[in-house]
Amino acid sequence: MDRLGTYYGFVYEDGKPVGPMKSWTLGRGSEENSIVASGTHYRSGYQKPYTLTGTTGPLEDGRLSVDLKVNYSNGWQCVTMMGCFDPGENSLRGAVTLPDWSQGEFVFKRDPDFVRFYPAPSTIDARARWKFVMTVTLDRIRRQSWSPSYIFKRIKDGKRYMELALRDDYYGKSLNGDEQGEFNDLLSSLYEADARFYASRINTKVCEVTIQYVEVAFGDFYSALTPINTAPLTATPAVSSSWEHESYAWIVTTTTR
């Protein structure tokens, strides 16, 4: 595999991204035809370091088979990926087996802007391709112009992402169908650096919520004290207005991509 470098992409399940963008800087392993990488998985307030190992082999049409395994350092089960490297489009793509044994798919490319808003391969049709082209083109024009409306929209989208992420992973009303679709769209629009920023802010927000501890019974034994979140299950997490100033500073000072 000659084209080692940094690849950006998403893992999809049921046609939806399971988290924000990931990046892999691939290097050659110690064994022949092996590749290695490391990184951190960001989703909501989670920050899960991982290592990636894999092997490559020949396929027809100049492609290479790719067999990858993602191992997390903090107890998450590993994720296995099987697919191919296509030198024509310089991409990695294939099937994923997730920790709960459900099946998904992945696509990684060299250009992070290309995979943003990218539909899962299993859902691509003429309508999805046209929507993708329009969304990416409009987003690129707005990014290059750095108009106030673009900055304000990023602040608004970031705030909304935090609200939905808190409800999806921590506390508050469960997301309805429309909100889940909105959350998926926000996930696919985030750069990895943005996801890292929002994860730190979500962690701060979660720390502000009162935590109580209860004993949980297992048969004749009791567990150690187990934390429970006391925020109302029907609550809508509020993101403070001061966060908007921090978000604005983050967006303005981030290097133009």
pLDDT of 119 > 60? The answer is: yes
Which candidate, 141, 157, 147, 139, places its Cα nearest to that of 239?
Answer: 157
Q: Are 29 and 46 in contact (CB under 8 A)?
A: no
Average pLDDT in the chain = 80
- 98 and 164 share one domain: no
Residues 6 or more apart whose Cβ sits within 8 Å of residue 231 = 170, 171, 172, 209, 210, 237
Structure confidence at residue 217 (pLDDT):
47
Q: Are 39 and 20 in contact (CB under 8 A)?
A: no
What backbone phi and psi angles, to 5 degrees, belong to 255?
-60, 135
Structure confidence at residue 180 (pLDDT):
92
Q: Is residue 180 part of a domain?
A: yes
Domain residues for the domain of 105 are 6-117
- 92 and 161 share one domain: no
Q: How is residue 223 annotated by DSSP?
A: P
Q: How is residue 236 annotated by DSSP?
A: -
Lowest mean pLDDT among 20-29, 197-206, 225-234, 236-245: 225-234
- 102 and 11 share one domain: yes
The structural domain count of the chain equals 2
In angstroms, how far is CA 138 from the centroid of its own chain? 22
Q: Is residue 78 part of a domain?
A: yes
pLDDT of 100 > 80? The answer is: no
Structure confidence at residue 51 (pLDDT):
92
- 74 and 25 share one domain: yes
Q: Is residue 227 part of a domain?
A: yes
- 206 and 106 share one domain: no
229 versus 22: which is more confidently predicted? 22
CATH number at residue 19: 2.40.128
Q: Is residue 138 part of a domain?
A: no
Helix H or strand E segment including 82:
strand 79-86
- 92 and 187 share one domain: no
Q: Are 116 and 188 in contact (CB under 8 A)?
A: yes
Structure confidence at residue 83 (pLDDT):
92
Find residue 47's DSSP bridge partners: 42
pLDDT of 154 > 60? The answer is: yes
d(CA 225, CA 113): 45
Which of helix, strand or coil describes residue 28? strand
- 112 and 167 share one domain: no
Task: Give me the percent of the chain exceeding a pLDDT of 70.
Answer: 79
d(CA 186, CA 156): 11
Q: What is the DSSP string of 180-211?
A: HHHHHHHHHH--HHHHHHHHHHHHHHHHTS-E
Q: Among 117, 138, 173, where does a domain finish?
A: 117
Structure confidence at residue 86 (pLDDT):
87
Q: Among 117, 139, 173, where does a domain finish?
A: 117
Ranges of H-type helices in the chain: 112-115, 126-145, 148-169, 177-189, 192-207, 241-253
Q: End-to-end CA distance of the chain: give it in Å, rounded.
A: 27
Structure confidence at residue 170 (pLDDT):
85
Q: Which residue reads 């998904």 in tokens?
A: 104
d(CA 163, CA 238): 7
Mean pLDDT, residues 143-172 taken together: 86
d(CA 39, CA 25): 8
Mean pLDDT, residues 55-83 taken together: 85
d(CA 113, CA 101): 30
Q: Is residue 40 part of a domain?
A: yes
d(CA 257, CA 247): 17
Q: Is residue 1 part of a domain?
A: no
Mean pLDDT, residues 64-79 taken together: 84
Q: Among 117, 138, 163, where does a domain finish?
A: 117
Q: Which residue reads 């099937």 in tokens?
A: 95
Range picked from 1-10, 128-137, 230-239 for highest mean pLDDT = 128-137
pTM of the model: 0.77
Mean pLDDT, residues 222-237 taken together: 50
Q: Is residue 14 part of a domain?
A: yes
